[in-house]
């Protein structure tokens, strides 16, 4: 079985649907908002995780590799998605987790093991130098040959996969918004939007200014650095792992208004940012905004 034949069987929802949101907080300022529902692509390999893995799977296959190894935190959506992708596309998977093992496993790691991922743990110091020979050497000795998928899945192959999204939007728009973790999604979108469209990435990390260099770096390895994107650093809500009451209330209210249950770490922060920016008139009247729903709420 090839990656392509598994793809035919999986029936991924690609192109993902677009849903218009009628929200008085935006319409009052002449702003239209549409959601690009990438969260619906596949229940276990959703959103930007699928887009970023697609060409990594094809590259692994082309390299003749049958085992994927990747890195992540114990709550990483990427670890989950790689475990699922391995399961559905016929690769063995190894997840190298930052920190010590804690039993029983949290829901992320418990899920990963149900998808046959082998878990390994490295301490925080070694995690920082995880792409060095000093760390990769022993992993190779232990697990044999593998195809390395970077943390967050963000590499040139990921940028190529994400870059397929803009072509699925078949109407004119002004701004494409997406949340930012490692910046792979932002890099790929900015690579491929029509000229004149700005891409706005909402950092879910506190102090995310360094991400600009990462995004440029990812675009560079993918072939071209563009200057059609901006990072919005003001809507991290206290930091990556933080979900303060204000954020949860925004998400609950959004669900009541629009019937869409928002993922909190990334998607709710972005949408709260869009609503706030519209109400402080940071989008000109007449703007059409498409916001990428990069993943579903936590299970």
Catalytic residues: 76
Between 49 and 58, name the residue whose CB sits nearer to ligand PLP.
49
- Contacts with ligand PLP by CB under 6 A lie at 47-49, 77-78, 152, 154, 179-185, 263, 266-267, 294-295
**Burial (CB count within 10 angstroms: exposed 0-12, middle 13-18, buried 19+), residue 140:** middle
Q: Is 19 helix (H, G, I), strand (E, B) or coil?
A: strand
Least distance to ligand PLP, CB of residue 78, Å: 6
Q: Are strands 229-232 and 198-203 parallel, antiparallel or unpaired?
A: parallel
How far, in Å, are 63, 114, 119, 144 from residue 69 at the CA level? 14, 17, 10, 10
Between 93 and 154, name the residue whose CB sits nearer to ligand PLP.
154
Residue whose CB is nearest to ligand PLP in the complex, by number? 295
How far, in Å, are 122, 168, 170, 276 from residue 288 at the CA level? 45, 16, 13, 16
User: CA 245, 248, 249 angle in degrees (round to 5)?
Assistant: 85
DSSP conformation class of 209: G
Q: Which two tokens stand for residue 248?
A: 């949860």
Between 70 and 294, name the residue whose CB sits nearer to ligand PLP.
294
Least distance to ligand PLP, CB of residue 181, Å: 3
**127 φ/ψ sector (left φ>0, alpha ψ -120 to 50, else beta):** alpha
Between 56 and 185, name the residue whose CB sits nearer to ligand PLP.
185
Between 179 and 273, name the residue whose CB sits nearer to ligand PLP.
179
Least distance to ligand PLP, CB of residue 52, Å: 6
Closest among 31, 73, 109 to 265, alpha carbons compared:
73
Least distance to ligand PLP, CB of residue 211, Å: 8
Residue with tokens 């990427």: 78
Between 15 and 73, name the residue whose CB sits nearer to ligand PLP.
73
Beta bridge partners of 291: 35, 177
Q: Is 149 helix (H, G, I), strand (E, B) or coil?
A: strand
Extended strands (E) in the chain? 18-21, 32-36, 67-72, 92-98, 118-122, 147-149, 175-180, 198-203, 229-232, 288-292
Least distance to ligand PLP, CB of residue 214, Å: 9
Least distance to ligand PLP, CB of residue 153, Å: 7
């Amino acid at each position: 079985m090839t990656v392509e034949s598994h793809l035919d069987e999986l029936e991924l929802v690609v192109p993902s649907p677009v849903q218009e949101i009628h929200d008085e907080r935006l319409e009052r300022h002449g702003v239209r908002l549409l959601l690009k529902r990438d969260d619906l692509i596949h229940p276990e390999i959703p959103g930007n995780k699928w887009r970023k893995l697609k060409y990594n799977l094809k590259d692994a296959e082309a390299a003749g590799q049958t085992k994927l190894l990747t890195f992540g935190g114990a709550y990483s959506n990427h670890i989950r998605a790689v475990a699922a992708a391995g399961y559905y596309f016929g690769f063995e998977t190894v997840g190298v987790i930052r920190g010590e093992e804690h039993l029983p496993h949290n829901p992320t790691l418990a899920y990963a093991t149900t998808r046959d991922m082998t878990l390994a743990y490295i301490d925080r110091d070694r995690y920082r130098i995880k792409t060095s020979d000093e760390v990769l050497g022993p992993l190779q000795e232990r697990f044999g040959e593998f195809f390395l998928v970077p943390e967050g899945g963000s590499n040139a192959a990921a940028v190529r996969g994400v870059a397929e999204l803009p072509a699925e939007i078949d109407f004119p728009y002004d701004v494409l918004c997406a949340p930012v973790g490692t910046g792979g999604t932002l890099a790929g979108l900015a690579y491929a939007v029509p000229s004149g469209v700005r891409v706005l990435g909402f950092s879910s990390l506190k102090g995310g200014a360094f991400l600009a260099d990462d995004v440029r770096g990812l675009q560079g390895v993918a072939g071209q650095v563009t200057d059609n994107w901006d990072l919005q650093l003001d809507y991290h809500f206290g930091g990556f792992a933080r979900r303060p009451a204000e954020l949860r209330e925004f998400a609950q209210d959004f669900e009541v208004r629009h019937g869409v249950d928002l993922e909190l770490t990334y998607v709710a922060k972005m949408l709260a940012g869009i609503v706030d920016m519209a109400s402080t008139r940071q989008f000109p009247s007449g703007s059409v905004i498409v916001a990428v729903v990069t993943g579903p709420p936590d299970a």
